[in-house]
Amino acid sequence: MTLLEIHEPGETPLPHAGEGSPAVGIDLGTTNSVVAIAREGKPAALHDETGKAMVPSVVGYPSSGGVLVGDEARLLMPQEPRNVVASIKRLMGRGAADLHTVAGVLPYEIEPGSGETDMVKLRIAGKARSPVEISAEILKALRKRAEAALDKPVERAVITVPAYFDDAARTATRDAARVAGLEVLRLVNEPTAAALAYGLDKGSEGLYAVYDLGGGTFDFSLLRLEKGVFQVLATGGDTALGGDDFDRAIAERMLAERNKDGLGDQIDEAAVKSALALARHMKEQLSDRDQTSGRLELVGVPSFHALTRAEFDAMIADYVKRTLDIARHVLGDADMAPSEIQGVVLVGGSTRVPLVRAEVAKMIGKAPLTDIDPDEVVALGAALQAEALTGGGDTLLLDVTPLSLGLETMGGIVEKVVPRNTPIPVQLAQDFTTYQDGQTAMAIHVVQGEREMVADCRSLARFELLGIPPMTAGAARIRVSFAVDADGLLTVSAEERTTGVQQRIEVKPSYGLSHDDMADMLYDSLENAEADMTARLLTEAKVEGRRNLLALDAALAKDGALLDAAERAELDQGRARLEAAMAGEDRDEINAAADALETLSKPFAERRMDRGIREALAGKSVNELESRVGE
């Protein structure tokens, strides 16, 4: 049935539906993701039916087909560990060369990229899938949740990334959004978003620090808040440091204990995943008690493991110390002392760990701010920024480049062109020259990182400036310009100044997507869109069928006496057919059974209606009725 939409006067929807469509904030986290929306400066996370805001960043590809995201994907883990992917954010924009940093962390078959791009892929459920593709599934699920909660199409978003994400990872995040059908209004650094969520609430001014320890990444940022301006002074972090490391430490200990007890386990993916799941649970328990224990069952053999807070603290002390080292370094970059910090905001689930809180408080000399849920604070800030960008709000975010950008020069040495912590957007240029007589081409190799040698930095792109007129060595003046936009994305161009020969490249990180990859993914997502639609229609048919059955049962209970035995048997048969169809997956059969049942129950329905009318009339005098008729 088509319902006409009725609107109260003054509440008619805006004529420009596209412009008025809501822009959401998305925290695409390593472990969990959250989507939020802000209205008139008030941000709120969007919850599911059970009231949960967090969607586990887990994607499952069940062998029966389709894609699962979140809790459903997590439930698939015990049965089909190979078909479930968690912590995919760690691989965003990573190439084969980076694999040593994640090897052993991700128990999947990893395929180094082939051909022109170098992005890794995971072999899952018989198909090679890129981190971009897998992240897009999470974004699609968040988008669906937002659309369900807001009852409107959602096509625009502010997505947060760790401040320390390099160009490759930022590009990969933007690509994932595109595959999910979202226009990215802005990539905002997670710590900045967190500060935004706090700053607007409290109207605070002064120097603030954001300590963000998530599942897989750590960021520390210093911001100055002044009259609605959020100025990032310095930022630093580690893209491979987080609560997952804590889990792994506990899991490794448990597996070692089993080994010591002579349980010669076959350590396969399922075992690792079970141990990690239990480890995470125990870690969470230790956030508000002094000891905990867990039961680990691998291939039917159980073992019991106890863990005290003190033991746990000792296991993670090195990781926590590393975060503090980074924090001190960032303070040094900004030329600030810990005592100048007005407040420190804690972000990320791992800041619930008591040792982390205690150590941060000790370094800053102040109790950290924790009044906004650390799991939601980033998404809330992103939502505020989304609102500000689409016409609300008067805040201004002034962000910086997290890592230095430079070029390879002779001998593999890096010449920095844009130093880290430079405010963005930025355009900076540097002049280079030829080193050989008659040199007509120059290779430009763009790198990112703080180290002096190219080999220790991340290679972002290579291109060649051709057509330099032959000159003596050192005579050509080649100006290489770097432009970083407000999203932190880089474009590099080179020009020979004496002749004006020019080359320009939008830095496609070496690990980015080729156009073919992108096309494949968009195509896949279209393909899935059809599957998604089919699934929805099936669900709707089942819901409708269930409603019919309930109505019929209620009617039979009340007025079953109106039917004779043969009629009743016929109706029961029709009912059974619909029930059987609903247990299956064939939508056409469900609809056919529902139609048949409706036809069968028609006489019954008519008889009930007649009886209803008769009952309504019973006890009324003919006169009464006549006088009424005469009215």
Question: Is 27 among the catalytic positions?
Answer: yes
- Is 10 a binding residue for another protein by CB under 8 A? The answer is no
CA–CA gap between residue 89 and residue 105 (Å, rounded): 12
Taking the complex as a whole, how short is the minimal distance between the CB of residue 431 and another protein, in angstroms? 9
Per-residue x/- marks for another protein, 374-393, CB under 8 A? Answer: --------------xxxx--
CA–CA gap between residue 275 and residue 272 (Å, rounded): 5
- Sequence-distant (≥ 6) Cβ neighbours of residue 45 within 8 angstroms: 34, 35, 36, 53, 376, 379, 380
Taking the complex as a whole, how short is the minimal distance between the CB of residue 111 and another protein, in angstroms? 36
- Is 522 a binding residue for another protein by CB under 8 A? The answer is no
Taking the complex as a whole, how short is the minimal distance between the CB of residue 315 and another protein, in angstroms? 16
Give 49-61 as a 3 state SS string: CCCCCCEECEEEC
Q: Which is nearer to another protein, 6 or 14 (CB)?
A: 14
CA–CA gap between residue 161 and residue 89 (Å, rounded): 10
Give the helix/strand (H/E) hosting 193: helix 190-202
Piece of 5-13, 173-181, 213-221, 222-230 that binds another protein (CB under 8 A): 222-230
Q: Which is nearer to another protein, 399 or 517 (CB)?
A: 399
Taking the complex as a whole, how short is the minimal distance between the CB of residue 423 and another protein, in angstroms? 4
265 vs 31, 80, 108, 268, 296, CA distance in Å?
Answer: 27, 19, 19, 9, 12
The overall longest dimension of the chain from CA atoms, in Å, is 120
Strand partners, 212: 219, 347
Question: Is 516 among the catalytic positions?
Answer: no
- Is 426 a binding residue for another protein by CB under 8 A? The answer is yes
308 vs 28, 287, 293, 305, CA distance in Å?
Answer: 32, 11, 8, 10
Among 28, 35, 138, 185, binds another protein (CB under 8 A): 185
Is the torsion defined by CA of 603, 605, 609, 612 positive or negative? positive
- Sequence-distant (≥ 6) Cβ neighbours of residue 450 within 8 angstroms: 403, 404, 420, 457
Return the closest-CA partner of residue 70 out of 59, 81, 84, 62: 59
Residue of 98, 166, 167, 190 marked active site:
190
Cβ 233 vs Cβ 416: under 8 Å: no
- Is 560 a binding residue for another protein by CB under 8 A? The answer is no
DSSP codes of every residue in 151-178: TS---EEEEEE-TT--HHHHHHHHHHHH
Taking the complex as a whole, how short is the minimal distance between the CB of residue 490 and another protein, in angstroms? 13
Q: Which is nearer to another protein, 442 or 483 (CB)?
A: 483
Give the helix/strand (H/E) hosting 595: helix 587-617
Per-residue x/- marks for another protein, 262-301, CB under 8 A? Answer: ----------------------------------------
What does DSSP assign to residue 336? -
Residue recorded with tokens 């990969």: 172
What does DSSP assign to residue 182? -
Taking the complex as a whole, how short is the minimal distance between the CB of residue 19 and another protein, in angstroms? 8
Chain CA centroid to CA 508, Å: 22
State yes or no: cis peptide before 368, omega within 30 of 0: no
Q: Which is nearer to another protein, 428 or 505 (CB)?
A: 428
Piece of 50-58, 227-235, 269-277, 472-480 that binds another protein (CB under 8 A): 227-235
- Is 332 a binding residue for another protein by CB under 8 A? The answer is yes
Q: Which tokens in the block code for residue 383?
A: 């939502």
3-state secondary structure of 344: strand
Residue of 212, 387, 408, 496 marked active site:
212
- Is 341 a binding residue for another protein by CB under 8 A? The answer is no
- Is 483 a binding residue for another protein by CB under 8 A? The answer is yes
Among 128, 428, 522, 538, binds another protein (CB under 8 A): 428
- Is 170 a binding residue for another protein by CB under 8 A? The answer is no
Q: Which is nearer to another protein, 77 or 414 (CB)?
A: 414
Taking the complex as a whole, how short is the minimal distance between the CB of residue 426 and another protein, in angstroms? 5
Q: Which is nearer to another protein, 427 or 499 (CB)?
A: 427
Give the helix/strand (H/E) hosting 249: helix 243-260
Among 370, 422, 514, 591, binds another protein (CB under 8 A): 422
Piece of 74-82, 252-260, 320-328, 531-539 that binds another protein (CB under 8 A): 320-328
3-state secondary structure of 342: coil
CA–CA gap between residue 391 and residue 394 (Å, rounded): 9
Among 186, 305, 420, 508, binds another protein (CB under 8 A): 186
Q: Which residues of 40-53 are buried (b: 16+ CB within 10 A; e: fewer)?
A: eeebebbeeeeeeb
Cβ 574 vs Cβ 528: under 8 Å: no
- Is 407 a binding residue for another protein by CB under 8 A? The answer is no
- Is 396 a binding residue for another protein by CB under 8 A? The answer is yes
- Is 325 a binding residue for another protein by CB under 8 A? The answer is yes
Q: Which is nearer to another protein, 428 or 535 (CB)?
A: 428
Piece of 255-263, 349-357, 423-431, 584-592 that binds another protein (CB under 8 A): 423-431
Per-residue x/- marks for another protein, 485-504, CB under 8 A? Answer: xx------------------
Question: Is 98 among the catalytic positions?
Answer: no
Task: Write phi, then psi, for 302 (nearest 5 degrees).
Answer: -85, 155
Among 99, 229, 555, 562, binds another protein (CB under 8 A): 229
Cβ 464 vs Cβ 442: under 8 Å: yes
Taking the complex as a whole, how short is the minimal distance between the CB of residue 192 and another protein, in angstroms? 12
Q: Which is nearer to another protein, 61 or 432 (CB)?
A: 432
Chain CA centroid to CA 156, Å: 15
130 vs 63, 218, 237, CA distance in Å?
Answer: 18, 23, 25
Question: Is 245 among the catalytic positions?
Answer: no
Taking the complex as a whole, how short is the minimal distance between the CB of residue 166 and another protein, in angstroms? 20
14-33 residues in contact with another protein (CB under 8 A) are 19
- Is 206 a binding residue for another protein by CB under 8 A? The answer is no
CA–CA gap between residue 582 and residue 592 (Å, rounded): 11
Q: Which is nearer to another protein, 397 or 597 (CB)?
A: 397
Count of residues interacting with another protein (CB under 8 A): 29
Interaxial angle between packed helices 515-559 and 565-583, expressed in degrees from 0 to 180 and rounded to the nearest 10: 160
Q: Which is nearer to another protein, 284 or 333 (CB)?
A: 333
- Is 424 a binding residue for another protein by CB under 8 A? The answer is yes
- Is 336 a binding residue for another protein by CB under 8 A? The answer is no
Residue recorded with tokens 């947060």: 160
Among 73, 397, 492, 494, binds another protein (CB under 8 A): 397
Could you list the active site residues? 27, 89, 190, 212
| Contact residues: another protein, CB under 8 A | 19, 185-186, 226-227, 229, 231, 321, 325, 328-329, 332, 388-391, 396-398, 422-428, 483, 485-486
